[in-house]
Amino acid sequence: MTREPIPASELILALQCGGSDGYSGISANPALGAAVDLLVQNGGTAVLSETPEIYGAEHLLTRRAVTREVGEKIVERIRWWEEHCARIGGEMNNNPSPGNKAGGLTTILEKSLGAVAKGGTRKAVENGIARVKEMLPEANKVCREAVPASHLTLGLQCGGSDGYSGISANPALGAAVDLLVRHGGTAILSETPEIYGAEHLLTRRAVSKAVGEKLIERIHWF
């Protein structure tokens, strides 16, 4: 695969939660918003792809809608999520996560007020909705098919850890990895710096001394 230059008008940028804290709304998110403004100014498209993340701050987006109809589509999407959560016995304000709270956020509304800043300041346009509709027919052509576990390679990467990750989500993923490997699949800890300081726990499990040494070499390279 080789890179080639393309016009900004062909770019679609998806924006999603990356583990917000009390500073995200006045630092990283507005910085992303400035990048979005630059992209849109040059014909590109940006999508706030996690609808529940704007819950409670949707009025800031409807004000920027290019038409009333576009604003109403945003509100309709929020209502759909409220109804969906009610059907499954959940609620929209079950955020923020323990990590968000540790970072200084107390409610989903605070998180959302910061999150919408990623959408920039320009008028929301129908272009984003149109581009997604354009892509759906092609995406719907993709068919799933059964493959043996030995054909699967699972890439594991940091997803915004907090004080509970090491005793909850991470061990659960480890159990899934054990099951995958037992059936011939492969799992990769794809973010080397994430294991820094704990590499001895992996070298103990290396299938040979040479494999363990390769892991240490990679740490030293970093």
Domain end position, chosen among 92, 114, 139 = 139
Tell whether 78 and 158 lie within a shared domain: no
pTM over 0.75: no
DSSP, collapsed to helix, strand or coil, labels residue 65 as strand
**Residue 206 is part of which domain span?**
149-221
Tell whether 124 and 162 lie within a shared domain: no
Count of domains forming the chain:
2
Give the amino acid at 93. Answer: N
Tell whether 122 and 27 lie within a shared domain: yes
Tell whether 117 and 41 lie within a shared domain: yes
Please indicate, yes or no, if residue 131 is contained in any of the structural domains.
yes
Tell whether 168 and 195 lie within a shared domain: yes
Please indicate, yes or no, if residue 3 is contained in any of the structural domains.
no
> Both tokens of residue 209?
């001394």
Predicted pLDDT at 106:
83
Q: How far, in Å, CA of 173 to CA of 103, rounded? A: 24
Tell whether 161 and 133 lie within a shared domain: no
Where does residue 187 rank: exposed (0-12), middle (13-18), buried (19+ CB within 10 A)?
Answer: middle
Please indicate, yes or no, if residue 144 is contained in any of the structural domains.
no
Q: How far, in Å, CA of 159 to CA of 151, rounded? A: 24
Tell whether 14 and 99 lie within a shared domain: yes
Tell whether 106 and 168 lie within a shared domain: no
Predicted pLDDT at 179:
92
Please indicate, yes or no, if residue 2 is contained in any of the structural domains.
no
Q: How far, in Å, CA of 129 to CA of 139, rounded? A: 15
Please indicate, yes or no, if residue 127 is contained in any of the structural domains.
yes
Tell whether 202 and 103 lie within a shared domain: no
Predicted pLDDT at 126:
56
Please indicate, yes or no, if residue 171 is contained in any of the structural domains.
yes
Tell whether 133 and 166 lie within a shared domain: no
Predicted pLDDT at 185:
92
Tell whether 48 and 153 lie within a shared domain: no
Average pLDDT of each block of 10 consecutive residues along the chain (222 residues)?
A: 91 84 87 91 88 87 87 89 87 75 82 89 67 77 86 83 80 90 90 85 90 90 87
Domain end position, chosen among 139, 172, 196 = 139
Tell whether 153 and 124 lie within a shared domain: no
Domain end position, chosen among 81, 108, 139 = 139
Contact predicate 197/214, CB 8 Å: no
